[in-house]
Amino acid sequence: MRDTLRQLLPAVVVAGFLGSSLNAPPAKAITTPSIINATASSQCLDYSIVGVCFWLYCGWTGCSVRTSLLVRHYVPELVVSSYEKTGENPWSDMVGQAYSVSSELANFLASSLAPSTDAMGGGQNTSDAEPRYRQSLRFKHADVVGHPGGAIFNQFASGFGFACQGAAQAFYPYYLSTLDSLAWRSGIPESAYPEALIPGRRELGQTSDLWGNVYPRSGFIAQTHDYKAAALTAQRSADIVTRTGQPHVYFPLIRNARDGWWPPDPIVEGNSDHRWQQLQPNMSRSCHVWPDRSAQDTYADRLAEDGDYVLPCGAGTTVVSVVGRSFWVHLARVCLTPLKNGRDEYEMYLLT
């Protein structure tokens, strides 16, 4: 049954892209071509050679050792939309027929959990609040979809040989908070998890600049700064998607390592294995790990007046470069990569 849903749901979403929109996209929405174009950033790619591999080849005439490079760079995998009003994803191609059912479901559950007009849309106590009040409780929806530029990048990587392929499928709806309304709005059962109760565990931020707790992974956030609230929402939803067996309605992004291809571990706040890029409201050509500025910075240039953000996520992946085709048989491969400890020490991989 689960496999059937994994096949049908992406088809429904793609049909929604091509069909007529039931909800008009926000005035400042971003389009798919713009998202794809933003992948052409050398800073976000961060291509680097991290090691060398030795291949033992043997044939009828004897054996020889060949070398190849071990390269690492970031692959565009996910696009996370963090927004306030149900059905108004700032990614314009995501506002269509495919989301009408999930929006109706979200409105029904929201009215059941908190029967007020404002609660149906997520609270609307953020950007639409009375300007003279400094609101601390915010709510945002989150949609996590496969990066549309991922398929193009994978085609390039497969033909080039010196680039890593990503694991995500383009336009695949890994997580839609409107379909996970019960957990996303109530925080049940994660509000009782140790990560949510013990201070200092799973927190996004830095000294004197706490953005918020990753747990419970819900849409309600105690944060006066709207951009930081959106970033935390994106971090929470990506945290769900990159893991299996979570108490949410979602499809996990499965990244199983294999010989010659090593994807990163599940996303963890503050870890450089994943980087974020902002495309909405202002497009940036740089990628970073949150927080990426000093504790005194206001992030004023990243604030959205309507409270809607589009934040792609890239995954740092390592791959063995192709050494050429041969009729010989390789018996063993040994790869060396320097450790990140400031000393001349190396980590060895033995591949068979």
Average pLDDT of the segment spanning 161-189: 90
Please compute the mean of the pLDDT values over residues 250-262 and round it to a whole number: 87
151 vs 96 pLDDT, higher one: 151
pLDDT, tens digit, 9 for 90 and up, residues 69-117: 888 889 999 999 999 988 889 998 886 544 554 555 555 555 555 544 4
Q: Dihedral angle at the C-alpha atoms of 110, 111, 115, 119, nearest 10 degrees?
A: 40
Residue 65 reports pLDDT greater than 60: yes
CB 301 within 8 A of CB 282: yes
Query: What is the percentage of the chain residues whose pLDDT exceeds 70?
Result: 70
- Cβ partners under 8 Å of residue 125, min gap 6: 118, 135, 137, 138, 139
Q: Is the pLDDT of residue 331 over 70?
A: no
Please provide residue 293's backbone torsions phi and psi, each rounded to the nearest 5 degrees: -135, 175
Looking at residue 194, what is its pLDDT?
A: 95
Q: Are strands 62-83 and 141-146 parallel, antiparallel or unpaired?
A: antiparallel
CA 352 – CA 349 distance, rounded (Å) = 10
Burial class (CB in 10 A: 0-12, 13-18, 19+), 179: buried
